[in-house]
Amino acid sequence: MITRECIAQWGRLIKPKTFVIKDTYSIGPITNLTNLLEGIFKITQPLDQSATENSTAQKSWFRGFHFIFNCQTNQHLGSDGYDNYQAPVIDNHQLYMRRLWAKGAIQFVQPPELNTAMKCTEQVKTVKPFNEDVFVDIERKYTTSEGRELLVENRTLLYTNRLYAPNNFPKLTHHEPLVTFKLSPIDLMKYSMLTYNLHRIHFDARYAHSIENLPTLLVHGPFQVTLILYYFSLQHPDLVAHYFKYRTFEPFFVNEEAAILIIAKGANEFELTLFHPVDKTVYLQGTVKCKKPET
């Protein structure tokens, strides 16, 4: 039995801590992720053949590409393969068997220059018990080595010992998708490699089904965010994402058909939805606020 006092004790220990992960903003990972996304969306040639490496890198910063930089070090792996350095652990004992990507927000400040050092400073901001589960909110601040702010990301993970069961959230209604696609196990493996992610639910189907009761491999939460922001940038190349807030609903599984819907909600504000095009199950939905690119 996991008590609230047990979670509160861990919260008191983890919240004062900060974690700093260093990296370099380089073209190699950007190119690899771009190639992966172009393959998924069936883009046969570059949309801007005159783009330089630096301009490509600058645009990519606003498309969710920050997830492939300053990744976890994987030095304290949990039973599910993911790093436990920010997970509820007491006396080296892992309290929860499963972790789920629940929601998040990204504030895009400015892109880093190509081939420059940057660091990500992480801190657990809140720990919220919910029945026998717990939500953990993490803030990640990307800065240059000189301290110039580049991006602020907040992510919320749900830790639970409950096995997977469908949530049966309301379906999307009366909307036709702009694009449809499927993700293969190889697509998920490539993304796991790009993000240094050893979470077994993304590449080990036997573990996903036998331990967590998932029917098959699960698509990464950050991958879903990048898919939807990347496709939005293709449809609106004259806009730059300034702020994106989102949440997940039903899980998005490998080899399932997926679709993206973009609905304008105001001046330079859009609702983005990732969903199943036939049964209208919503995987992820959020609102992006944009601005005109600087000239």
pLDDT in tens, 168-177: 888 888 778 8
| pLDDT at residue 50, rounded to an integer | 59
pLDDT in tens, 90-101: 888 899 999 999
| pLDDT at residue 48, rounded to an integer | 65
Burial (0-12, 13-18, 19+ Cβ within 10 Å), 157: buried
For residue 78, which of 92, 68, 64 has the smallest C-alpha distance?
92
In the predicted model, residues of the chain with pLDDT beneath 70 are 1, 46-50, 293-295
| pLDDT at residue 142, rounded to an integer | 98
| pLDDT at residue 291, rounded to an integer | 84
| pLDDT at residue 175, rounded to an integer | 77
